[in-house]
């Protein structure tokens, strides 16, 4: 709870009613930093609006402060008369030093508050917010293929040398000429398309087409970027594990020279000591659609530049043969993730190992050897300065980067040659030169304030709180006018505006009507369906009982009218027809469900929509730190249908405030004979009982009570989100407990250690956790 919200509301409700601007300011301030809104506002507009709201807050405080303070001072019966008059006069004349010490503290706090907050929110600069684009926003131009980035209007030279250099350079830079820190985890991404899959394998990924990238870049503002992920094709070079046996395989070497395009062994001197050379021998693999290549550096080579050797018995070929490594080329499906900004594209991560992507793709047209075998004058000069640093002065391998460099350079040289040929002659372009990707996701990120819980605290956030009244009018102490009115005052003090009741709650509706709760609060109630065998939720009974509820409550309309639980004996169509008739009469604003399974929620929604009935927009669910199964079995359906979630039983019916010994003794509602053993069956389970000491220890370490730990977790760390219209329903056994609960909720998020501890408890008990009071 931020200081301005807490104190402004306390002051206003102590003396005067807040005007509309004062009520609206905290709500708007919160929405400015809500991710959905923050993305559209961008960082600059966020700052402008937050400054505006802080200014409005100061105006609100100034507006109510004098009258409120005077009212408070003159209502203090214990203050001596002369002193009271002195304080009142000082408040009227803004005489700070004429105030008592206590009033100086209060006035000083409110004077400094805007300044403190103006400094506080600026601690959250440097954040960003991402929005996922829909398929419609992406459009039909989302082509990928064999391509390279052409930035802006600049047209770089499209030849194999340039292409190889731009793609290979980031990997080369990372290796620091063979002396850099070698990766310990794979895959590793480099540049815009290079993915080192392991020590002996590398991939060159297809990327978004230039047209597609340009379309996306045109949308970007200052500091914006896209994160794009998709399943694409890739050139993959893999070391052949049978390489050692191939050194002596004359048949394979004969094939290599026969299936080469005519250049034979191509080599370039590395000029380290003058006798080292790098050689390549690309060839078509007989019987397959994919090419192979021998590559390696070797020694005792004559001093020369670039040369070719077409005779397999040439001594130079024999020297190369002793150290050559065999690599297979293929096209495979891989996943890639890129970051695209207004000037560049960067490959962030990727993978080629998943079951649906690791199989080779039939790609004879993309790897056709007569056209696409690497050309030595394009390949060897750029690679020369990479490999020369991998050879030390005594002619031995001296870097773990060597095999990785082989893999990466092989994949890159085939990609560069292919792109050069496809780009210059459209007639050569294969079917998969351009294509639409699968599993594409595009996230648009913009700079905003950091979305941190403390920022919400500073900018006035608290969960919507609903006061549950199951005990009002039925049990002490909430069965007397004095106590009930005291509770109302506490609710007003803490700005709680909703009261939840039900036909099933005995005298609750009647008592709330007698106490005129509807004149001060928004009321929600429920039809007694599901739990009360005497109530059959037919269309007639739904209409009749709704009128009775309104008469008892003394109101013409409630906010939410729930079906308390499903009833299998009455067709849902009949029940919903009655609900819609009540809605058309103006008896309620919103229709709610409670204790329905996900499939039944969907069924109710579909029936209502098909018949033009009022749709359910609120759901009341059992939910607490040890009953979270609804997060996976129910909440996704509610979110999909746009239904807000109001949660009851944050304390697990009081279980989280008890000890194992209390439960074993059958304390309170955990007695097997109380309420039909409902709470005993829900929570008195071995695994749940075993974590009660851990729960108490987390609370102790956090310096909070066990009940406060539960309430604050539900309000600030659970799946309940105020921006989705969610709310927390609190109950109390006394006015003091109600005051304490609401005060606890205003303290904001828990320490991270407490949140982590609660998550560990959930992991331990999830398998034995209950669902809710109806499905157990």
Q: Which residue has the higher pLDDT, 255 or 424?
A: 255
**Choice among 64-78, 304-318, 487-501 with the minimum mean pLDDT:** 64-78
Q: Are residues 341 and 471 in the same domain?
A: no
* pLDDT for residue 57 is more than 70: no
* pLDDT for residue 662 is more than 90: no
Q: Are residues 649 and 735 in the same domain?
A: yes
Residue 403 falls inside a structural domain: yes
Among the listed residues 353, 397, 342, 322, the one whose alpha carbon sits nearest the alpha carbon of residue 234? 353
Residue 248, pLDDT score: 79
**Choice among 260-269, 357-366, 710-719 with the minimum mean pLDDT:** 357-366
Residue 425 falls inside a structural domain: no
Strand intervals (E) in 536-587: 558-563
Residue 545 falls inside a structural domain: yes
Pure H helices in 554-691:
572-584, 598-611, 630-633, 635-641, 660-664, 678-683, 686-690
What average pLDDT score do residues 394-421 get?
82
Q: Are residues 402 and 488 in the same domain?
A: no
- Model pLDDT for residues 723-773, shown as the tens digit of each residue: 888 989 887 777 888 889 889 988 889 999 999 999 999 999 888 888 765
**Choice among 17-21, 143-147, 332-336 with the minimum mean pLDDT:** 17-21
pLDDT band at 573 (very low <50, low <70, confident <90, very high): very high
Residue 447 falls inside a structural domain: no
> Which of residues 415, 430, 450 is at a domain's end?
415
Residue 370, pLDDT score: 63
pLDDT band at 379 (very low <50, low <70, confident <90, very high): confident
Residue 33, pLDDT score: 53
Among the listed residues 324, 349, 177, the one whose alpha carbon sits nearest the alpha carbon of residue 239? 324
Q: Are residues 531 and 635 in the same domain?
A: yes
* pLDDT for residue 523 is more than 80: yes
Cα distance between residue 243 and residue 317, in whole Å: 16
Residue 755 falls inside a structural domain: no
Residue 107, pLDDT score: 79
- Domain CATH code at residue 610: 3.20.20.100
Residue 18, pLDDT score: 35
Q: Are residues 578 and 718 in the same domain?
A: yes
Residue 481, pLDDT score: 78
pLDDT band at 665 (very low <50, low <70, confident <90, very high): confident
Q: Are residues 619 and 733 in the same domain?
A: yes
* pLDDT for residue 333 is more than 60: yes
Cα distance between residue 146 and residue 127, in whole Å: 34
Q: Are residues 390 and 497 in the same domain?
A: no
- Give the whole-number percent of the chain exceeding pLDDT 90: 33
**Choice among 455-469, 667-681, 704-718 with the minimum mean pLDDT:** 455-469
Q: Are residues 599 and 513 in the same domain?
A: yes
Residue 365, pLDDT score: 66
Q: Are residues 639 and 744 in the same domain?
A: yes
Q: Are residues 396 and 501 in the same domain?
A: no
> Which of residues 386, 415, 444 is at a domain's end?
415
pLDDT band at 265 (very low <50, low <70, confident <90, very high): very high
List, by residue number, the catalytic residues: 505
In angstroms, the first-to-last Cα distance of the chain is 34
- Model pLDDT for residues 220-252, shown as the tens digit of each residue: 888 889 999 999 999 999 998 887 787 778 888
Residue 27 falls inside a structural domain: no
Q: Are residues 647 and 731 in the same domain?
A: yes
Among the listed residues 577, 643, 571, the one whose alpha carbon sits nearest the alpha carbon of residue 612? 577
Residue 53, pLDDT score: 62
Domain that holds residue 367: 143-206+226-243+278-415
Q: Are residues 545 and 397 in the same domain?
A: no
What average pLDDT score do residues 493-497 get?
88
What average pLDDT score do residues 383-393 get?
74
Helix (H, G, I), strand (E, B) or coil at 331: strand
Count of domains forming the chain: 2
Question: How does the average pLDDT of the chain come out, rounded?
Answer: 80
pLDDT band at 432 (very low <50, low <70, confident <90, very high): confident
- Model pLDDT for residues 176-187, shown as the tens digit of each residue: 766 778 888 999
Residue 288, pLDDT score: 58
Edge-to-edge strand list for the sheet holding 434-435: 207-208, 144-145, 434-435
What's the farthest any 2 CA atoms get from each other in the chain?
A: 118
Cα distance between residue 771 and residue 594, in whole Å: 13
Cα distance between residue 662 and residue 638, in whole Å: 36
**Choice among 424-428, 632-636, 643-647, 732-736 with the minimum mean pLDDT:** 424-428
What average pLDDT score do residues 492-501 get?
88
Cα distance between residue 177 and residue 167, in whole Å: 16
Helix (H, G, I), strand (E, B) or coil at 130: strand
């Amino acid at each position: 709870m931020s200081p301005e919200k807490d104190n402004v509301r306390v002051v206003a409700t102590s003396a005067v009613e807040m005007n509309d601007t004062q009520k609206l300011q905290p709500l708007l301030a919160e929405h400015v930093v809500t991710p959905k809104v923050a993305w559209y506002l961008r960082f600059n507009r966020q700052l402008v609006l937050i400054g505006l709201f802080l200014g409005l807050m100061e105006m609100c405080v100034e507006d109510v402060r004098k009258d409120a303070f005077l009212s408070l001072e003159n209502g203090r019966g214990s203050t001596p008369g002369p002193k009271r008059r002195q304080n009142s006069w000082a408040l009227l004349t803004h005489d700070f030093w004429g105030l008592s010490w206590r009033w100086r503290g209060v006035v000083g706090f409110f004077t400094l508050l805007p300044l403190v907050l103006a400094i506080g929110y600026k601690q959250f600069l440097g954040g960003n917010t991402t929005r996922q684009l829909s398929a419609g926003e992406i459009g039909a131009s989302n082509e990928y293929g064999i391509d390279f980035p052409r930035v802006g209007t600049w047209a770089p030279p499209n030849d194999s040398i340039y292409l190889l250099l731009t793609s290979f350079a980031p990997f080369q830079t990372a290796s620091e000429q063979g002396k850099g820190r070698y990766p310990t985890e794979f895959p590793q991404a480099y540049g815009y398309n290079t993915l080192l899959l392991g020590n002996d394998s590398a991939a060159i990924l297809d990327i978004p087409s230039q047209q597609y990238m340009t379309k996306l870049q045109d949308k970007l503002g200052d500091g914006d970027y896209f994160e794009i992920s998709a399943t694409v094709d890739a050139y993959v070079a893999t070391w052949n594990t049978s390489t050692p046996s191939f050194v002596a395989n004359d048949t394979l070497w004969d094939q290599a020279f026969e299936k080469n395009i005519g250049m034979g062994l191509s080599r370039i001197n590395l000029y380290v000591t003058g006798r080292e050379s790098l050689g390549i021998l690309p060839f078509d693999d007989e019987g397959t659609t994919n090419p192979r290549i021998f590559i390696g550096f070797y020694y005792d080579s004559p001093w020369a530049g670039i040369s070719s050797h077409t005779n397999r018995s040439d001594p130079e070929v024999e020297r190369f043969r002793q150290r050559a490594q065999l690599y297979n080329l293929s096209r495979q499906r891989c996943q890639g993730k890129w970051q695209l900004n207004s000037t560049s594209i960067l490959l962030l991560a990727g993978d080629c190992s998943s079951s649906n992507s690791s199989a080779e793709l039939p790609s004879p047209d993309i790897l056709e050897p007569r056209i696409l075998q690497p050309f030595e004058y394009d390949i060897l000069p750029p690679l020369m300065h990479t490999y020369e640093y991998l050879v030390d002065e005594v002619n031995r391998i001296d870097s773990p980067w060597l095999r990785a460099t082989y893999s990466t350079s092989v994949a890159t040289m085939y990609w560069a040659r292919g792109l050069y040929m496809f780009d210059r002659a459209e007639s050569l372009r294969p079917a998969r030169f351009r294509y639409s990707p699968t599993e594409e996701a595009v996230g648009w990120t913009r700079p905003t304030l950091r979305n941190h819980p403390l920022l919400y605290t500073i900018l006035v956030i608290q969960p919507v709180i609903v006061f549950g009244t199951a005990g009002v009018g039925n049990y002490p102490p909430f069965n007397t006018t004095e106590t009930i009115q005291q509770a109302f005052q506490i609710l007003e003090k803490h700005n709680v505006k909703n009261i939840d009741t039900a036909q099933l709650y005995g005298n609750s509706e009647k008592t709330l009507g007698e106490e005129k709760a509807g004149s001060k609060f928004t009321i929600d109630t429920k039809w007694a369906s599901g739990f009360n065998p005497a109530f059959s939720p037919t269309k007639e009974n739904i209409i009749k009982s709704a009128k009775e509820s309104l008469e008892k409550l003394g109101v013409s309309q409630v906010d939410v009218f729930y079906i308390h639980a499903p009833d299998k004996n009455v067709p849902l169509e009949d029940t919903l027809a009655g609900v819609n008739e009540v809605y058309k009469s103006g008896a309620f604003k919103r229709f709610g469900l409670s204790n329905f399974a996900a499939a039944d929620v969907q069924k109710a929604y579909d029936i209502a929509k098909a018949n033009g009935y009022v749709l359910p927009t609120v759901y009341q669910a059992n939910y607490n730190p040890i009953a979270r199964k609804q997060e996976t079995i129910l909440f996704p359906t509610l979110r999909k249908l746009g239904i807000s979630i109001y949660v009851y039983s944050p304390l697990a019916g009081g279980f989280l405030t008890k000890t194992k010994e209390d439960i074993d003794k059958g304390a309170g509602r955990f007695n097997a004979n109380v309420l039909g053993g409902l709470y005993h069956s829900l929570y008195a389970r071995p695994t749940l009982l075993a974590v009660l000491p851990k729960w108490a220890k987390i609370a102790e370490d956090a310096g909070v009570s066990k009940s406060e730990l539960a309430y604050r977790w539900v309000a600030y760390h659970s799946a309940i989100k105020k921006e989705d219209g969610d709310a927390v329903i609190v109950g109390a056994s006394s006015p003091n407990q109600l005051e304490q609960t609401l005060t606890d909720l205003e303290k904001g998020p828990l320490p991270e250690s407490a949140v982590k501890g609660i998550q560990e408890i959930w992991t331990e008990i999830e398998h034995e956790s209950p669902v809710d009071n109806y499905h157990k």
